[in-house]
A and B are shown apart, each in its own frame.
Chain A
Amino acid sequence: DADVTQTPRNRITKTGKRIMLECSQTKGHDRMYWYRQDPGLGLRLIYYSFDVKDINKGEISDGYSVSRQAQAKFSLSLESAIPNQTALYFCATSDRGQSGYGYTFGSGTRLTVV
């Protein structure tokens, strides 16, 4: 099984619909993140969580919300989807190690809003 699992892998939804993207991890990491990637661009941070009780907005949080249900689960919701939210969404975890750190990414969810 993958260390970071995202569901669904692909989703097409209509404008105005509410949609939830889910992420679960088996790394045992406290920190989890949601990123968005648009074609030809880097990743932009939407929300991040350093533990179950800690949720923070990232660079582009407008139009999104998150829920950290447990250490291993971090979901991203689009309350009312719009076409410009069409993108590839990645969940990631990170480990605050003794000598640096690193992100582990999921395989992504390709979301299309029509």
Chain B
Amino acid sequence: LAKTTQPISMDSYEGQEVNITCSHNNIATNDYITWYQQFPSQGPRFIIQGYKTKVTNEVASLFIPADRKSSTLSLPRVSLSDTAVYYCLVGDVDRDDKIIFGKGTRLHILP
């Protein structure tokens, strides 16, 4: 099972770009990398998913190097409302019962 390691917390300022890196050294061939955002007392919300290289959507970008042993979630020009916990998940669609939500990264955006 691909275990993930993320920073416990990060601080940044409004308007800055924030990059959160996740390590997953034993990622398997069929594993996808998915990031979720969670606000207090709410369920996690899907942000972005990728398999390799770069993926971009309207809220974030996901950078995955060729060896896929890490990934970086990039949030452009953050605002106070981006203060949340961000989870990096690695898993296979056929084994998603084994996907583990770690403690995530607590991102705090300052004015």
Total number of B residues with any Cβ neighbor in A under 8 Å: 21
Q: Would you call A107 and B42 a contact (CB within 8 A)?
A: yes
Total number of A residues with any Cβ neighbor in B under 8 Å: 29
Q: Would you call A105 and B44 a contact (CB within 8 A)?
A: yes
Within 8 A of A (CB), among B1-53: 32, 34, 36, 41-46, 49, 51
In this assembly, does A31 line the interface, its C-beta being within 8 Å of a C-beta of chain B? yes
How far is it, in angstroms, between the C-alpha of A90 and the C-alpha of B101 when the chains are bound? 13
Identify whether the interface residues of A are mostly helix, strand, loop, or mixed.
strand
How far, in Å, is A74 (CB) from chain B's closest CB? 14
Task: Name the residue of chain A whose CB is nearest to the CB of B42.
Answer: A107
Residues of A in contact with B (beta carbons under 8 Å apart): 4, 31, 35, 40-45, 48, 56, 58, 88, 90, 92, 94, 96-97, 99-108, 110
